[in-house]
Amino acid sequence: MDSNPIMNPFLLEKTENETVSSVPITILGCSKLGHLSFKATTKLLDGIQELDINVIDTAPTYPGSHARIGDYFKSGSQSTLRVMTKFGRGNMDLTPVLLKDSLYSSLKDLNKEQIFGLSIHNRPSESISQEVIQTSTRLKQDGYLKYFGWCGAWENLPLDKIDSFDFLMLPINPFIVNPPLSKIIGQIPIIAMNPFANFFWQFKKPNYVMQKMNEKIRKRYTVFPEIYKNIIIDPPGPNVESLIKYLVNQEYLSAFCFGSTKIDHIKEVINTKDFVIGGMNYPKI
């Protein structure tokens, strides 16, 4: 099966200032954006675009995130940022009415005319009706929604319905042992969801906290991935370059999404990604 990204909306939707290549693009996760002031939010969202990050990901359940992003667009910004969000988290029934109400509410809160990508938020197959899928198609036809996808944990992945989605967002990093990738590679664009989450690299905590984090990871993963040995460093902590190398070597990835509210941390990822890619001769497409 072909491992290259296919039907990739994130490559097809490049702006004129972006370089099109087979390298997975970078999406900024905005779960903590509600903790920032409007001024700090503006600085962050303006800053990421200078780093060629042009897609952000949020959710109605991320406290204050929608409101902050909406205020940013209401301020008269000429930003070309594309916004992905989610719906359906929790135990409520997923109905066409819920989908439409959630989408219209997100459009209003975000001050956008179209949502770039809307994901069903970690719901198993039995929760996703054909009526909801049909409603997403009509919302795309009406122009309110560009792409419809699914995000969540591997154990909830609705494998029998992936033909109904435009993309999947899943946890992908060196610490997840034997995810069922063979069942989806070559069928649909895949986004690595918060691949740095196991690391705490962005917080630059003291060595004591890093040591405790590493101990926690060792206890959690009974099968110890070989690559992890190269990521642990002394003093304990992450090696961002090793993680980026892992991600760009996953040729099936369309994008990876990570969260941060610090522009210096984001620059570290982008600069490392550029450095890694520079030595790998990735082809342009």
State yes or no: pLDDT of 78 exceeds 60: yes
pLDDT, residue 4, reads: 46
State yes or no: pLDDT of 204 exceeds 50: no
Mean pLDDT for 92-117 is 96
Mean pLDDT for 85-93 is 93
Give the chain's mean pLDDT: 81
The C-alpha atoms of residue 116 and residue 155 are separated, in whole angstroms, by 26
What are 5-54's pLDDT values in tens digits? 444 555 544 444 444 456 788 999 999 999 999 999 999 999 999 999 99
Mean pLDDT for 67-77 is 93
**Percent of the chain, pLDDT > 90?**
53
Indicate the pLDDT class of residue 172, thresholds 50, 70 and 90. confident
Indicate the pLDDT class of residue 280, thresholds 50, 70 and 90. low
Who has greater pLDDT, 242 or 222?
242
Among 109-113, 236-240, 245-249, name the most confident range.
Answer: 109-113
Which phi and psi angles does 90 have, rounded to 5°?
A: 115, -155
Task: With beta carbons less than 8 A apart as the criterion, state whether 35 and 68 touch.
Answer: no
Please tell me the least confidently modeled range out of 126-130, 185-189, 196-200, 244-248: 196-200
pLDDT, residue 226, reads: 53
Please tell me the least confidently modeled range out of 7-11, 20-24, 144-148, 179-183: 7-11
Q: For the chain, give the number of residues.
A: 285
Q: Where are the beta strands (DSSP E) in 122-213?
A: 145-151, 167-170, 190-193
**Percent of the chain, pLDDT > 70?**
74
pLDDT, residue 33, reads: 93
Who has greater pLDDT, 244 or 220?
244
Q: How far apart are the first and last CA of the chain?
A: 20
The C-alpha atoms of residue 218 and residue 187 are separated, in whole angstroms, by 33
What are 224-236's pLDDT values in tens digits? 445 444 444 333 3
What are 258-279's pLDDT values in tens digits? 998 999 889 988 988 888 887 6
| All domains in the chain, ordered by first residue | 9-273 (3.20.20.100)
Who has greater pLDDT, 28 or 223?
28
State yes or no: pLDDT of 101 exceeds 90: yes
Q: Where are the alpha helices (DSSP H) in the chain?
A: 9-12, 38-50, 65-74, 96-110, 130-141, 207-220, 228-231, 240-248, 263-278
State yes or no: pLDDT of 201 exceeds 60: no
